Amino acid sequence: SDLGAHDQLHPVNLLTNRKFLLLAGGGVFVVALIGSAVYYVFNASRVAPAPAPQTPNVAAVTPSSEPVIETTSSTPVTATTTESITLPGALQETTLEFPPSIIGDGTDGDSDALSDQEEILFSTDPAVPDSDADKYIDGHEVFNLYNPAGKEPMKLADSGLVREFTNQVFGYRLLYPSSWQMGAVQNDGAQLLFNSSGGEYVELRVFDRDPNQSFADWFAVHAPAENFNALVAFDSVFKQRGWRRTDYLVYFFDTPTRMYSLIYHPVPQASLINYRSVIKLMARSFNLENAPAVVPDRIIEDAPPIIEVSSTISEQPPSTTGTSATSSSEL
């Protein structure tokens, strides 16, 4: 009973002191109130603010090289892609690139005006100048669009050794070797490449032309580095008048509104031309729209093949010596 009698701060005395209890209870209340306020403020500061309206961030889109097809139809649509052709830079311009003017021919073992590579194309014997023994050398027959490996007068177009290509957009047709690959640089066929297996190829291009522009003026624009005077008049088998370079590697045909160029491209840095007779064949078979089918029948009658003399075409009498009237240099 005497516990804490002499000590007012003894716990027993404090717990029985009404004044102390009131003050202590008030202090506890204040501390609790302050703690609640601090807790509320602390938690409120952790709530993420409502997002403000933002403009969507759209990434830049690089146009695809493939066609994009959009349709609302229930019918499925298939995108068709065309194999592209990688060209030398010069071919992608409107300025024409010509082959070197001084370049020799590939090996011609039998001197029949067909290189050994061309003998393979036309199924002829590289050791025999007249493979079908018809008294006309093989190169002479190819030049005149005859089958050099066929008996009797046989059109080259019927031999299976060549194909006829018809461009209905630009209105022309011509022959090219069946074993060569043809590809369109432009979808409309304005620029075509006829490719050999060895890398040499023939390029055919069509250009729009001002009806008031002369061929000489057009040539100066599209072939400024070339000599216009190096061209001579030329007729195809169909009497289609044109111009050719004297080495037979470059040809031009025209209409009042278009120009057609046919140009041989050797392998870069090559020292030989293996298919000179092929581009001659292609140019000789060139025919513009509304012209007769390949090789008029009059040519395959009893008369021998026609022969090019200078800038005109003339029919020669049958040879009485059993050899061609045209030398291999003229072919």
Predicted local confidence at residue 16, as pLDDT: 64
147 half-sphere exposure, CB direction, 13 A CA radius: 17
Q: Select the more confidently predicted residue: 26 or 243.
A: 243
For residue 45, CA distances in Å to 36, 38, 42, 49, 108 come to: 14, 11, 5, 9, 95
Q: How far apart are CA 264 and CA 280, in angstroms?
A: 10
Write out pLDDT tens, residues 178-210.
999 999 887 778 999 999 999 999 999 999 999
pLDDT tops 80 at residue 218: yes
Neighbouring C-alpha atoms within 13 Å toward the C-beta of 114: 31
Which of 209, 193, 118 is closest to 161 using CA atoms? 118
Count how many Cα atoms sit within 13 Å of the Cα of residue 23 in the half-sphere of its side chain.
Answer: 7
- CA 35 from centre of chain: 81
- End-to-end CA gap in the chain: 147
What's the DSSP call for residue 311?
T
Please state the rounded mean pLDDT for residues 296-325: 36
Locate the DSSP E strands across 5-124: 104-105
pLDDT tens for each residue of 33-53: 676 666 665 555 554 444 443
Average pLDDT over residues 240-264: 95
pLDDT band for position 60 (50/70/90)?
very low
> Could you tell me if 280 and 237 are in contact, meaning their C-beta atoms sit under 8 angstroms apart?
no
pLDDT tens, residue by residue, 66-110: 332 233 333 332 223 334 444 444 444 578 999 988 888 999 999
Chain mean pLDDT for the chain: 74
Helix (H) or strand (E) holding 265: strand 258-265
pLDDT 10s digits, 106-156 = 999 999 999 999 999 999 999 999 999 988 999 999 999 999 998 777 899
